[in-house]
Homo-oligomer: A and B are copies of this chain.
Amino acid sequence: MMTMIPLFLSLLSLLLVTLPATLASHSPPIFFPGATYPSSSLKQDDTLKKNIPFKTQFFPQILDHFTYHPKSYIIFYQKYLINSQFWHHGAPIFVYTGNEGNIEWFAANTGFLLDIAPKFRALLVFIEHRYYGESLPFGKDSYNSAEMVGYLNSQQALADYAVLIRSLKQNLSSEASPVVVFGGSYGGMLAAWFRLKYPHVAIGALASSAPILHFDDIIPQTSFYDAVSQDFKSVSLNCYQVIKGSWAELAAFSSQGQGLAELSKNFKSCKGLPSVDAAQNWLWAAFVYTAMVNYPTEANFMMHLPAYPVKEMCKIIDALPPGETKLSKAFAAASLYYNYSQTEKCFNIEHGSDAHGLHGWDWQACTEMVMPMSCSSESMFTPYSYNYSAFAEECMKMYGVTPRPHWITTEFGGKQIEKILKRFGSNIIFSNGMQDPWSRGGVLKNISASIVALVTEEGAHHVDFRFATKDDPNWLVEQRRQEVDIIQSWIDEYYCDLRS
């Protein structure tokens, strides 16, 4: 039996617990695409279920597509959401390749598909990723041991999608309907990989904010935190310098007798901080997630936040008098992230919640999704070197398995992707917003005539997938228009081929 570690702390917590204090105090939380979202102020997904225009279905899915043990044949029920209000027989099917959480949450935050469905007369299907939400092969025991959770990975998930889509089309007697897959973040990685591995199932993929190059040594390990820092620096050099300077002030509390008590008071901690590191992680998360969702409109994806929240944070920092400490300024900025709605009297800093059921990502990160990250001295965070051995050791302790750090690039490629996909494959849009630190692991340049990159300087984490609003800036309207046009061209070509 394994002990599940609260999501927000995820891999960070184990570093804190087990590594030497000097290392631990400099280790960054690991922010996975879409996972480890602190979401204490979000409504539970039960509420979402009632408010999204989808019917819930369950598909009998096979446990292991790639072995033939008696156990491989175990059937579990995979959840998917379906909206057929715009669809007519033979028209396209748009499938969202679910990522690491309850599928309702992704459906609620991918309004783009509902926005464009009428134009395409598309059937919408959101498929939940195995081992998330209610799609648990062994119910509440699904994470009890490596024997149970060992079937959780991206290749099994892709095979699930292929099997489910094929069956669905057959049941609808609409086998000629073209399928386009959509996904954001890890879901975007899955969408892109799905098009590459199952071109006979999907005619194209829109992969939004999909860091498929965040593996091995393809991009510099410092990219992610450098990008976060750049977001703040480009808004205000002072803001960047204040945050960068706050860590030393924070660390100083460690050596004071009453340091932790004082810090707890300063940080409005509800129950008292368990450690100085907890405060650091809490700040760190606020800056990272705010950079990720630096949206041009008010939004409530991870937390309720105003438009351009990085700018708002820096406004707070810049407006405080020079006499205030850097740490108190950083705290004030982070409070925007955790308490924009002004409903919190105190903060539960010691742990986050897991309203969307994201904790399975920890397992994926400890097996296949090994994304090396470190902090450079130019970043606004404390410098930190990636230590694979320590990471692997912790994964072994936590789950009894060792990571396979080179597997994703072996299975899906990534190295020299532009040279490979220039000569192979077609019909993939990689959309990225450069405000999103994950963009640095994305495909940012056109690769071929039909494997293209749509990059917006002001965009953030899969902003294109959000419902259109009247306040959307022109670049966002334009980005979505391009996506629709390209998808339309795939579909036109498909029907043209079909007739010929």
A146-B70 contact in complex given A162-B411, A166-B410, A410-B162, C-beta closer than 8 Å? yes
A47 to chain B minimum Cβ distance, whole angstroms, is 34
Are A150's CB and B68's CB within 8 A?
A: yes
- Give the nearest-CB partner of A406 in chain B: B166
Q: Does A374 contact B (CB under 8 A)?
A: no
Most buried by B among A68, A152, A368: A68
Closest-by-CB residue of B relative to A162 is: B410
In Å, the complex CA distance between A414 and B67 comes to 21
**Cβ contacts A67-84/B at 8 Å (1 or 0 each):** 111101100000000000
A67–B72 Cα distance when bound, in Å, is 11
Shortest CB–CB separation between residue A11 and chain B, in angstroms?
A: 16
Q: Is the CB of A153 within 8 A of B426?
A: no
Q: Is the CB of B146 within 8 A of A68?
A: yes
The answer, among B66, B152, B406, B425, for a CB contact under 8 Å with A64, is: B66
Q: Give A116-154 interface residues, CB cut-off 8 Å to B.
A: 146-147, 149-153
Contact with B along A162-187 (1 / 0, CB 8 A): 11001000000000000000000000
Give the one of A67, A363, A409 with max B CB within 10 A.
A67
A422 at the interface (CB under 8 A from B): yes
Given contacts A64-B66, A367-B68, contact A419 B199 (CB under 8 A): no
Does A427 sit within 8 A of B, measured CB to CB? yes
Residues of B within 8 A of A146 (CB): 68-70
- Nearest chain-B residue to A418 (Cβ)? B497
Contact of A67 among B153, B199, B415, B416 (CB under 8 A): B153
- In the complex, whether A420 has a CB less than 8 A from a CB of chain B is yes
B residues less than 8 Å from A415 (CB atoms): 200
- Determine the chain B residues whose CB is within 8 A of the CB of A497 once the complex forms: 419, 422-423
Q: Which residues in window 393-424 of A have CB below 8 A to B?
A: 400-402, 404, 406-407, 409-417, 419-424
Residue interface mask A197-235, B partner, CB < 8 A = 1: 111110100000000000000000000000000000000
Contact partner of A407 (CB less than 8 A), chosen from B65, B153, B420, is B65
Residues of B with C-beta under 8 A to A368:
68
Cβ of A420: which chain B residues have Cβ within 8 Å of it? 199-200
With a cutoff of 8 Å between Cβ atoms, the chain B residues found around residue A416 in the complex are: 200
* A68: contacting residue among B196, B401, B425, CB under 8 A: B401
Determine whether the beta carbon of B423 is less than 8 Å from that of A67: no
Q: Chain B residues near A152 (CB, 8 Å)? A: 68
Q: Can you report 27 residue pairs joining A to B where beta carbons are below 8 Å apart?
A: A62-B404, A64-B66, A65-B407, A66-B67, A66-B153, A66-B155, A67-B153, A67-B156, A68-B368, A68-B401, A69-B146, A69-B147, A70-B147, A70-B401, A73-B401, A159-B411, A162-B410, A199-B413, A199-B425, A200-B413, A200-B414, A201-B410, A419-B498, A423-B426, A423-B427, A423-B493, A424-B425
Q: A199-B423, A423-B497 are in contact. List 7 more A-B contacts (CB 8 A).
A: A66-B66, A68-B150, A68-B368, A68-B401, A70-B401, A73-B402, A423-B493
